[in-house]
Amino acid sequence: MQIPRAVAAFIMMAGVSAPLWAQSLVVVNQGNATASIIDGTSLEVVGSIEQRLPDRNRAHEVAITPDGKTAYLPVYGNSGVGRPGSDGREMLIVDLPSRTIIGTVDFGRGVRPHLPVIDPKSGLVYVTTELDNSVAIVDPKARAVVGRIPTGAEQSHMLVLSPDGRTGYTANVGPGSVSVLDMVARKTLAVIKVADQVQRIALSADGRLAFTSDTQAPRMAVIDTKTRTLKQWVPLPGRGYGAAALRDGRSLLIIMREPAGSDAVAVVDLKKMAVVQTIPVGKGPQAIVIQPDEKLAYVSCAGDGTVAVIDLAQRRVIRTIATAAGADGMAWGGK
């Protein structure tokens, strides 16, 4: 297969004989443009993916198909949201069993593609495209963009889907808002103003609540998805970032990374709408992924290039895994 000219190579280093796609965590490292593969059983780094992209471009986030065999990595560029820099226009498609690129998706122009989300029902891949003020719809079989959903706002950075996959919610960083999208009709339903600036977004297990954080103050916004209104604020010990809800509907885990020294995961009781515990983690925590059986949670820590492993029964870090500088987006592969 001829590698597209914009991608010189995307190679997984040798040394892994086990079927990684069976149960593993992929961690994107912005610092050295790699992605680490962590075995879900041994909790060891068992492989590394090297990105050789021009102009110091980077993938920030990753998604893996439900069978754990295919990974999607949008190439964002060489900067951060709202900052000057190059504008990525491609998404890499990686076959995890063979550890090779099997294709790319071209978005047609520089749009800074960021977060990929796979709809488990349709198999479509939704990708936030910040400079297009939209979410791109990718047909993975055709390896092509087949539609776009306008978000009605700039810097639509992160995306979550409702449990039925029919509604999407984007966190629009600079505008400080959340867009509500009809994923079927491919249109914007509402844009909810939240704060001066927001980051990340998560949904409760039943889809009734959406959560995002005010980047200027230590508080988390709770949005009623039925009325599409800001319901309340939950005070946090530090400024919030990535979050993930547990399936029991009782708890939410939210990362705190500012001010300096507040690096921790807060456990929010969703009945009381209050923080009931904090779990210290490494420097500069970014993203959080909960293992499907909900025994463990993983927190990428960009500041020290590690992943903190949290035992959810004990609510404490039981292991710290060294990956690489700038550990950022993560995805779980397999069941």
Binning pLDDT at 50, 70 and 90, where does residue 306 land? very high
Contacts of 224 (CB under 8 A, 6+ apart): 208, 209, 230, 231
pLDDT of residue 98: 76
Q: When comparing pLDDT for 32 and 134, which is higher?
A: 134
Indicate the residue type of 200: R
* Residue-level pLDDT at 8: 35
CA–CA separation, 219 vs 325, rounded Å? 28
**Residue-level pLDDT at 2:** 36
* Helix runs in the chain, H state only: none
The least confident of 20-29, 76-85, 170-179 is 20-29
d(CA 198, CA 171): 7
Q: What is the pLDDT of residues 195-212, one digit of tens each?
A: 999 999 999 999 999 999
Q: Label residue 102 by pLDDT band (50, 70, 90).
A: confident
With a cut of 50, say whether residue 307 has pLDDT above it.
Answer: yes
Residue 83: partners with Cβ closer than 8 Å, 6 or more residues away? none
**CA dihedral (173, 302, 88, 37) positive or negative:** negative
The per-residue pLDDT for 17 is 41
Please state, in angstroms and rounded to a whole number, the distance separating the CA atoms of residues 49 and 163: 31
pLDDT of residue 53: 78
48-52, 258-262, 325-329: range with highest mean pLDDT? 325-329
pTM above 0.85, yes or no: yes
Q: In this predicted structure, what is the pLDDT of residue 55?
A: 85
**Lowest mean per-residue pLDDT among 96-110, 127-141, 286-300, 318-332:** 96-110
Mean pLDDT, residues 229-253 taken together: 96
Extract the tokens encoding 302. Answer: 């960009």
**CA 263 to chain CA centroid, nearest Å:** 18
CATH no. of 1-150+321-335: 2.130.10.10
Instruction: Give the number of other CB atoms < 10 A from CB of residue 31.
Output: 15
What burial class does residue 148 get, using C-beta atoms within 10 Å of its C-beta: 0-12 exposed, 13-18 middle, 19+ buried?
Answer: middle
Whether residue 119 contacts residue 101, with contact meaning beta carbons closer than 8 Å, is answered with no
Which residue in this structure is represented by tokens 């060489």? Answer: 78
Domains of the chain, residue spans: 1-150+321-335
93-102, 134-143, 157-166: least confident range? 93-102
pLDDT of 191 higher than 70: yes
Tokens of 64: 């893996």
Rg value, the chain, Cα: 18
Q: 3-state secondary structure string, 185-228?
A: CCEEEEEEECCCCEEEEEECCCCCEEEEEECCCCEEEEEECCCC
pLDDT in tens, 209-224: 999 999 999 999 999 9
Cα 314 to chain centroid, rounded: 25
CA distance 293 to 297: 10
What is the 8-class DSSP label of residue 13?
A: P
Asked if 157 contacts 142 with a C-beta cutoff of 8 angstroms, the reply is: no
Cβ–Cβ < 8 Å for 236, 256? yes
Q: What is the pLDDT of residues 6-48, one digit of tens each?
A: 333 333 333 344 444 468 899 999 998 888 989 999 999 988 8
Q: Mean pLDDT score of the chain, rounded to an integer?
A: 91
d(CA 176, CA 184): 25
